[in-house]
Amino acid sequence: MSIVALIVGMILIGFALPTHKEIANTSAVLDGSPNELFDCYNSREGQQLVWTRAWERFNGKGHPMNIVDLGGPDSGTGTKLGYYPGGKHSGGLRAFFNSIAEGDGQIVESKPDRRIVIDIDFGFVKTRRVNTFETVADRRTRVSWSETLEASNPLSRWMLLVSGDSQTDGFEKVLLALEDVVMEKGTD
């Protein structure tokens, strides 16, 4: 079978594959009010602090997720965020593998103390990240995280078949890091 026939076959089958897949749906009850947690995660600076802390929770394993300023306001709808593991354009073979997880995002919905929606374009797939904030007790908030991939390209749809729920553990660490950052800010 020629390589061309293989690619054509993958494209044709790709049209029949699903275009969307939920890769994470998790939550955690965190210390802090919905306002404190929301305000932190709704800002570029807060996201930078939270993702750095999450990487520390992995005990420094893997590559840190650097949140890069891509413009727009510092917080809320329109805030543009670059998600670059190991730093933007870090070079070499590492850069090639990191580029698979590089994405340009934007906060597209920001409902104070209730909901943040971030759309991220990874080039071959797009993701919609939804974080919600719900009071469960005095200064205790359930923060939920759902993430859905979208692949419009029939070749990219193959990625949805192999993408598992392995990201959920990482997102849970990000939620716990959010709690850490808010608690530290409260003690400043």
pLDDT of residue 55: 80
The mean pLDDT value for 110-133 works out to 94
The mean pLDDT value for 93-114 works out to 79
- Which CATH fold would you assign to the domain 3-186? Alpha-D-Glucose-1,6-Bisphosphate; Chain A, domain 4 (3.30.530)
Query: Per the confidence metrics, is the pTM higher than 0.85?
Result: no
pLDDT of residue 168: 62
Asked if residue 21 has pLDDT above 60, the reply is yes
The mean pLDDT value for 94-110 works out to 76
Please state, in angstroms and rounded to a whole number, the distance separating the CA atoms of residues 107 and 118. 4
173 contacts: CB under 8 Å, gap ≥ 6: 54, 57, 58
pLDDT of residue 157: 65
pLDDT of residue 166: 55
Asked if residue 93 has pLDDT above 70, the reply is no
Asked if residue 99 has pLDDT above 70, the reply is no
pLDDT, one tens digit per residue, over 132-152 is: 999 999 899 999 999 888 887
What ranges do the domains of the chain cover? Answer: 3-186
Share of the chain above pLDDT 90, in %: 42
Q: Which among 132, 163, 133 has a CA at the least distance from the CA of 149?
A: 163
pLDDT, one tens digit per residue, over 43-87 is: 999 999 998 888 887 666 555 778 889 999 999 999 999 988 765
Task: Among 17-21, 96-100, 110-114, name the one with the lowest average pLDDT.
Answer: 96-100
Asked if residue 37 has pLDDT above 80, the reply is yes
Q: Hey, what amino acid is at 109? A: E
Q: Which among 80, 83, 84, 82 has a CA at the least distance from the CA of 95?
A: 84
